[in-house]
Amino acid sequence: MTTPYWLQDSVFYQIFPDRFSNGDTTLDPINVQKWGSAPTTWGFQGGDLRGIIQKFDYLLDLGINAIYLNPIFFSPTNHRYHISDYYIIDPRLGSLLDFHALIDLAHRNHVRIVLDGVFNHCSRGFFAFNDLLENNQHSAYKDWFHVHRFPLDAYSPGEALHYDAWWNVKAIPKFNTNNPKVRKFIFDVARYWIERGIDGWRLDVPNEINDDTFWAEFRQVVKSANRDACLIGEIWTADPRWANDTHFDGLMHYPIRDALLACLTGKDGVAGFAGTVEGMFKVYPRENIYSMYVTLGTHDTERVLTILGNNLDKLKLAFQFIFAYPGTPAIYYGDEIGLEGGKDPDSRRAFPWNPAEWKADLHPWVQNLITIRKERVSMRRGEYNRIAMDAGQGLYAFARTLGGETTLVALNFSDKNIRTALPVTTLWQDNQIVRSLLDNRTFTTTDHLIQLNLPPWSGIYLG
């Protein structure tokens, strides 16, 4: 195994720090927005590291055991993907002492912390780019970036023309990672935070550093500091280049999310969905499949409940699938209580801490799914096999099996009731009693079949 042993046993919770919880109002900027204001690309609402610490009991009660934090380093933006200093916690989030308090609290409670690594680009305020703006061709850092001509135009309206920038946005100059000094700077940053206790990196747009030797060395640096640290790459398509023992342990598993939501919204059928979720086992090695970050949404996507037309049954079914599929299931903060939102920045709304604003029984539903997954080793580490698929009815069923433990998952991706008899010859003996893990109903296998009645947009776990 070259992937961390703990990944496939994890349930991740993604936090966008400015919008999760405000624990120290003395850190707020003078123009802080009211908590819950309509999100913008420029406004801060005051979320910070102390807020996460103060709400840690909520996270433990939910059941998660890993946290992925969007960038926390010094930056002029609320999303902090424009990093000015990679060695300083953004003062609006807290201090290095607050960071260590969060790490210590997490580790005492067996929760891992993974940080967002933004190494393709920096901000205009980054020291080397500042020097370049001041000294132009005489700067010692002119080869740290991809400069086309001097003097640099970094602040007027329009796209970046004088240097390479992410999506040609002037505010985000792109590093020249072919420069050995740039590589050393990035590798030193990666090692520094691993040595200060983080449990891994989620790598932002790593495919834009299109250099296999860079990522092989990055991996070696991180793993030499902590062999159990994880590396998760933000790759939006299925591509085996990026998940292996020279790149990343797992990827943001967007193809699974896309296939699931397409099936739930009627853009594709169960056959297409089955083809994608089963096809991934032919794309990646097993250990990498079981280390994928499987989520319904992130800060870059519309809120899943909004995509599903505010249909809570569909959202529950979506959660039910990702908690049963190989990989590490992940919750984007607020999805577990039905937070809504359109495209960025609307998908980054402040967390509503008044339970009266939470959607129905969604929160306890997710809690229950997490509990079941943590109790059932087959759902975390078991083999995956299709049991049945009926494209006409919208039925899809699969089993997770490890040793003597089997979990059968049957899902109804339709707006009609499904009565079905699933073949269970390979799973259980005849006349065996199995129970629903969600509500403790019992079922008996008869003639190597199990009879099920699945209401619209619902599923069942049997074991």
How is residue 432 written in tokens? 């065996």
SS3 of the chain: the string is CCCCCCHHHCCEEEECHHHCCCCCHHHCCCCCCCCCCCCCCCCCCCCCHHHHHHCHHHHHHHCCCEEEECCCEECCCCCCCCCCEEEEECCCCCCHHHHHHHHHHHHHCCCEEEEEECCCECCCCCHHHHHHHHHHHHCCCHHHECECCCCCCCCCCCCCCCECEHHHCCCCEEECCCCHHHHHHHHHHHHHHHHCCCCEEEECCHHHCCCHHHHHHHHHHHHHHCCCCEEEECCCCCCHHHECCCCECEEECHHHHHHHHHHHCCCCCHHHHHHHHHHHHHHCCHHHHCCCEEECCCCCCCCHHHHCCCCHHHHHHHHHHHCCCCCEEEEECCHHHCCCCCCCCHHHCCCCCCHHHCCCCHHHHHHHHHHHHHHCHHHHHCEEEEEEEECCCCEEEEEEEECCEEEEEEEECCCCCEEEEEECCCCCCCCCEEEECCCCCEEECECCEEEEEECCCEEEEEC
**17 neighbors 93 (Cβ within 8 angstroms):** yes
**323 neighbors 379 (Cβ within 8 angstroms):** yes
How is residue 148 written in tokens? 């086309």
Residues 6+ apart with CB under 8 A from 196: 99, 100, 103
**372 neighbors 463 (Cβ within 8 angstroms):** no
Catalytic residues: 204, 234
